[in-house]
Amino acid sequence: MTKFLTRVQVEGAASIIRNRSRYQPTIGIVLGSGLNDIAQSVQFPDIIPTNQIPHWPASTVPGHVGRLLLGRLEDKVVLVLQGRSHFYEGYAMDQITLPVRVMSILGIKTLIVTNAAGGMNSDYKAGDLMLIKDHINIPGMAGNNPLRGPNDNTFGPRFPDMTEPYDRELRAVARKAAAEAEFDVQEGVYAYVAGPSYETPAELRYLKMIGGDAVGMSTVPSVLVARHAGMR
């Protein structure tokens, strides 16, 4: 039988962070490709290299630094992950979602996940921002779901509701902030694929036909685990 990370192992990773930071974050932020500059806005950060945290998957993707920053962003205490790992790097689903499990144990209730994605909607243009309102989980439909395996009820229910995986109120906050900053933001469906090969023209036509507006190789596993843990 496949071995999965246990709660004891997740708690062990969380304890390292607790012991090395002054902060108790309430918001988790996962930085996608090209968004590392956001970390520079974190004030008075405690910085923890992820290679010093047990069981933490190392990112092999250029530009993904591999560290946590805990500190203040505006008036909130945040944990920022610079350097996510991906399924295509050879990790199991429970490994790439360990950071979110750890965040839930640390008491984080709100998760902001970002990524760089390919646009499929013909109304989108390069550089547009898109709020994800729903997703299509192609690997999950094929059995590669991070919630696969024995369920730990202390994390969440066996069959979590995915009626609204992306919080409606948080999306409204994001739209309001975009309007105040006077820039447009799209809202659409994100199609998750495993990678690392890019999609063929036929695959892109299929993903668009079934409702996808953008396509990428991350985010969805983290969102599934976050929703399982009751995070927004």
- Digit-by-digit pLDDT tens for the chain (232 residues) are 577 889 999 999 999 999 999 999 999 999 987 777 888 889 999 999 999 999 999 888 776 678 999 999 999 999 999 989 999 999 999 999 999 999 999 999 999 999 999 999 999 999 999 999 999 999 999 999 999 999 999 999 999 999 999 999 999 999 999 999 988 899 999 999 999 999 999 999 999 999 999 999 999 999 999 999 999 9
Phi-psi region of 34 (alpha: psi -120 to 50; beta: other; left: phi over 0): left
Q: Please, what is the end-to-end C-alpha distance for the chain in angstroms?
A: 32
- What pLDDT score does 156 carry? 95
Sign of CA dihedral 196, 167, 17, 225: negative
Sign of CA dihedral 203, 215, 33, 224: negative
Domain ranges of the chain: 7-228
Sheet strand arrangement including 186-192: 118-119, 214-216, 186-192, 130-137
Nearest Cα to Cα of residue 223 among 152, 149, 131: 131
CA separation (Å) from 87 to 105, 107, 149, 153, 187?
23, 26, 17, 25, 25
* Global pTM exceeds 0.85: yes
Q: Tell me the CATH class for 7-228.
A: alpha beta
Q: Which structure tokens are listed for 185?
A: 């933001």
Q: Which structure tokens are listed for 80?
A: 């920022």
Which amino acid type is present at position 232? R
What are φ and ψ of residue 126, in 5° steps? Answer: -55, 135
